Every structure is written in structure tokens, then in C-alpha cells.
Chains A and B, each alone.
Chain A
């Protein structure tokens, strides 16, 4: 039966090729191709890893949300995780917003990070293109987090398609951080982040009913960290049930579509404190 099917397919393809149709441009368009198993890498945030199964390699991952939603913490955590695994990472920073001090405090090995400081989206996209074509990076992150959403919206969809095609079948994780989702179906994993609440060690007290802040003094209140909510908007791996279970990793069977995670401020690594 299968030999008959393949013979029929060959006949259809050859007749189409003679007529100059789809088969003339694409080799064996009707041949069934196995989808490769998606290999993933942990983000370094256990709730996110539990939610998504990790960042897929050879795919485009989109993280979007407003400022203070934890996008950068997730990005930096992923960079720290990859550099700790001795991989080389690249960060294309569209608005030069990366803070090396907090990144180092988060565990990013800065000497393994190629940082491209851009001034606009055009520079960022061109640099990303060059990096993806160059190959060999464990992770390439494109940070458009501070770029106005209306500017990123003007990036043609074909750019995202090109990126996706270029990164396919490579071990590179391509991560994009934005304010809004733009890559549409080109992204294999889309995460939406929302800020939940900030945690303070001792909130500045208000005086009685007046609601006015009391003058703080050292040691006053300290920012402990913040809580964020991550929501899976799209996940190819999850849809197709292709989780890659790594040894010693337990994934819950009843994974939902969102997860909370908390981040903490490390004072020792930030400047003079």
C-alpha cells in the first residue's frame, strides 16, 4: 500500500514539475517530513520551566509585557542559565538598556556575552540578522523592550519569518523581548508577562489619616523584589505534546497556562550598596 502511495506521489510531483507548478520550485512538496523533537533549555526560573518546558532551540521565543513585568529578569535569567552551561550568548540591545552590574549579580558570565548596543530598531534587526547567519551561539536575544510598540509594529512580518527560517535546525535559542507580540505565527513560544506586586522589606509608613509619607531614614525600607505572572499565549511544543523530558526533571501533568514567579533584588551586586 505504502509503495503504491509513494509511486502515486512521485507521479503527481513529476507531472506538476513538467507543468512548472509548485513542484517545479520545491523539491518533493508532498513528501511527509518528520517534525524534529524540540530540544529545550531551562530559563533558570523553575515555574516558567514547568509552564513551558524550557526555551525551545532552533525556534523563535517571544516574551512581551509592559515595563516592570519581569521581562528583563526572565531574559537575564535565561542568559545566566546559558552562560553557566558554557554556551556563548549574544544580546542585541535596541535601546542600550542592558545593565551589566545587575546581570552579573544574576549570574551572567559577562565574558561569554556579546553585547550589541544599538540606537534604533533598524540597527538591532541588521545586527540580529548577522549574528543568526554567523551561527554558533547558544542563545541570541533581541531586546526591543524599551522600543515603542508602534515602532516594532512596523517591522514587516517577513523579517520574523526570515529569522525563524535562519534559526531553524540550529541549536540556537532566539529570544525576543517586546512590549507587544509581533512575530505572530513565527514564534514557537509566546509568553505574556504581567507585574503582580512589589515586595518591600518595610514599607514607608504613612502618618495617620493624612496619608503622607513619613521621612525615611537609613536603615529604612528596602526593595525585596517583585512578583510577576507569566501566561503562555502560544506554545508549539505544548500543542503537539512534544515535551522533552530530561533526566531528573519532573513536569506536572496538569500544567496550566500561567505561572507566578518571584524575583529578588540582590543588593550586594548593585553598585555601591
Chain B
């Protein structure tokens, strides 16, 4: 049985660099504390070489002109920790969340899947790099040895079973994380390395240092055994970014969103999942007037400074470029309306589509591409004007609703998942061709001459004609209990139009003007007027 431990050295700095990769090239110092008592809590190698030290005040650190000073970000550390856990779950289902910067994986049975233990270590390193983290990984036969080796040795370390003591002997005592008192005692004894500790007799050590001495002795020999505390797999994927200066325009915002989406998709890829929905939340900069105590006036979820948007995807996707295009299009349609100071991006995870389409089935639009096309069209015609029509269960003339467009494969899945309320399409009889109807939206006002209750002449939109044949009245009414009831007398009228055009004629030329036609008129009893609903065509 083998265990792997992954350790992220200098975790606070790596968490910030993961969100802003450009900072990796520069000297970086992280500060923490309430102004003016801010002090440096972490530095990267370049900053340390320049002379910036941990504990230095912000003012002192700012003397180094070329160094970047950033506040320590708990949100970014939380996201980096979540990414670290995802790296673990990408390899093994059984992992231990040891610390914010450390995890342990159970590698039992994984050799047949990933190859030798060295290959597993390499794989972990590659996955970590893809998620923006540079880690130390160590593989050993017990948990504690793997943990100590990951913290003590850089890069990938594989410790063969039985050689734990030999490998750990090079490490200092501090790698075993002794208490301050024990560390001082050992220092006085001249015990500096693990090899020195391992050579001490266990009984004498127990008499002098108690149980801690025994524990440290076992750790130094690589003989400590304990069970793995298995962490529950998380299904939430969230990335956050707090901005020093609020962003107002779409282009810089897209840049930041792209960066977050890259991280989110890398995490999803590591877990072999896709995003079924993307939720974006912006914390907006309040205007000067609104800034006065809005936090007390509104609960957190209804605060006016929040902007939330959700994008449902037809298939689980993890292509960050495609997702960014979708987000951009949605944001163009509904801009936030105020500068953004904090971005939160979350994904609802789902298993990616694994089935292949039938070889002899008609081709369908590529679902990810189709979603993008629909979003682009929605940008042109408006969000509610593109989709699939769906008839509603009502007698109200012309009533329908627009639904999200699903390709047949998805529609089948949705129908299976739903309660079956969707109306099936009617079976088509090939022997008859149905006369179709064109609707005028909104209905066109008309003037009608009636004789004994029957229309004889009509006029609408500059057209004037005589009624040749009429069918009606077909009286309908409904929804009297609602605010928008209807009560109409419908007529199907065949009209022979006059040849001479009149002012307001809807047809530009005499060739395209109809000589005759069958139209549906209705008298709206509530509005007390005649209207043309449409034409049979």
C-alpha cells in the first residue's frame, strides 16, 4: 500500500500567482493586517533575493520599487486549496485534506491505471502545473513519511518501501514539526538531523521527552502508521477575484473572466467533469449616494450592488474560450450597470457527454457551437426572440411560449426527465397538405361594413375590398378571472381587393398586391374594435 502527499510550498504566494500568472515573473510580497500596521507575511524567491523579509512593514517593503506588494487573499487561497483537492481527486478517490497546502492520496490499486509510482508522481506534477500550482509530491509506503518527504524534498520523490529511514535521514529535525520546547531540547542535545534522532534509544527518549519523543522517533525512522482521514468529494467549483480598482468596461473584464474560466476549466478537466451551468456574480461598486449604509438596509442576497447571471449549457462543457464568448455575449445583452470590484465565477459540474451520435442519423448542429450561435442571434434579435415555440394549454387565440431550443437528442432526455407534460407532435397525414396561417403581430386595426350582422366590405392598411365569402361569427371568450380576459367574434373572410392603391398601402407594387385573399378578422368586444389576426397563405 502506498500513499502520495502533495505539498504546495509558499502557498499564499502561489495562490496569488495562480490568479495573476504575470506576477510569477516579478518580485512579490504579500502583506496582511489592518492599516497602518500591515506587515509582509510571504515573499517569493525574487523578493527574498532583493532583501524583502517576512515581518517587514509595508512601508519598508515599498522602498523596493520593482517589487509588487499585494494583500494576502483568503478568497484566492480558498480557490487554490479547492484546486489542490481537485488535483488529488483527479488521481485517487480517497484523499485526505491534511492542511490548506497539503493533501495525501491513497494510491492503492492505481499502479495498473497510471503505471509505476514514479509515473503517478509525474502525473500529479503535470496536473498541478495545469491548475497553476507548482508542488512537491512524495510517494511512500506510509502517510507520515510521504508528508514529511513532500515538505522536505523539492520536486517528485519516490521512497521505496523499507528505505524510509534512509531517505528521511537527510532532513533536519524541523521537518518533523516538533514543539518549540522539544526542538530547543534537541538543539541542546546536538540532535540536528532525523538520522541523529533515529539512532537514539527509544526507551531513554521516552523517559526524557514523553510521548512526543516516541512519536518523533517513529517519524524519523519512517515507521509511523496511521489511518487516512478521507475527505468527501466536493462538487462545487468556484473561483473568486477581488479587484483593487473597479472594472467598468467589457474588454478588461473579459480578460479577468478568461483567467478565472481557465482555472475553473482546468479544475473541471482534472476531475473529468464539465460545466452544466456557469454562474457569474459581480459585486458592484456603489455610487457615492448608495454607499451610505446599504448593507444595513438590505439583506445580503438583495443588496442592490450585486449582479448575478446564470448560463445553462446544453451539454457539459469545459472549453474556456467558448464559455468566455458566451459570457461576453450575455454581458453585452445585460451589462452590470456599475463598476465591478469583485468577481465570483461558479460552475455546476456534470459528467461530460460520452455517447457518440448514430452513424446513419441526420446531422445535428454541434451543441457547443449551437449555443454560441443562439447567443449571438439573441444578441441581434433580443433574448426572448430565439428558441422553440411551445403551445400552451389554453384556448386563447395565438397563445404560445418560447422555450430554450434543444436538439432532438437533448429533447428526448428532457422528456424522459420531465413529467411528460409536453404535447407530442401530431402524426402527419401525407395525403393532405394543411393550409397555413400567417399572423399579424400585433393585430392590424380594420374597418368593416356590416349588413345584417355580416361583413360586406373591409378596409385595413390602405387596402379596401369586398367580402366574397364569409364564415362566422365564431365566438370565443375566456380568462375572465384574470386581468387580461378575451372575448372575440372571429370571421374568416375571402376578400376581393380594389385595384387602385390607397394611401398607406402595405404593398409597394401592384404586382405584389393580392387581388384577393382569405383573412381572419375578429371583433374584440372588450376593446370594441375590428382587427385582422392574419392571413391564410
Contacts and interface: CB of A to CB of B under 8 A. Distances in A.
A binds B: yes
Interface of A: 44-45, 66-73, 75-77, 80, 83-88, 96-119, 123, 126-127, 130-131, 133-138, 145-146, 148-150, 171, 179-180, 195, 198, 200, 203-204, 212-216, 218, 220-223, 225-226, 261-266, 269-273
Contacts of A44: 428, 430, 433
Contacts of B211: none
B407 interface: yes
A75 B436 CA distance: 9
Given A198-B469, A261-B433, A271 B507 contact: no
A113 B406 CA distance: 9
B109 interface: no
Secondary structure of the B contact surface, majority rule: mixed
Interface string B392-424: 000101101011011110010000000000100
Contact of B381 (A116, A137, A171): A116
15 contacts: A73-B433, A76-B436, A99-B398, A99-B534, A107-B425, A115-B386, A116-B381, A118-B385, A127-B386, A134-B372, A212-B451, A226-B435, A263-B434, A264-B432, A273-B474
Nearest to A71: B537
Contacts of A104: 391, 425-426
Interface string B360-388: 01111110011011101100110001111
A110 B471 contact: no
Nearest to A146: B438
Contact of A216 (B380, B470, B506): B470
Contacts, number: 269
Interface string B476-504: 10000000000000001010000000000
Contacts of B435: 73, 102, 223, 225-226, 263-266
B408 A112 contact: yes
Interface residues of B, number: 81
Interface stretch (B196-204, B257-265, B344-352, B511-519): B511-519
Contacts of A262: 433
A220 B436 contact: no
A116 B2 CA distance: 59
A195 B398 contact: no
A107 B426 contact: yes
Contacts of B428: 44, 80, 84, 106-107
B398 A226 contact: no
B311 interface: no
Contacts of A118: 381, 385
A154 B423 CA distance: 42
A87 to B, nearest CB: 5
A138 B433 CA distance: 21
Contacts of B456: 212-213
Contacts of B476: 271-272
B453 interface: yes
Nearest to B424: A109
A41 to B, nearest CB: 10
Contact of B471 (A109, A112, A117, A216): A216
B434 A145 contact: no
Contact of A200 (B364, B407, B469): B469
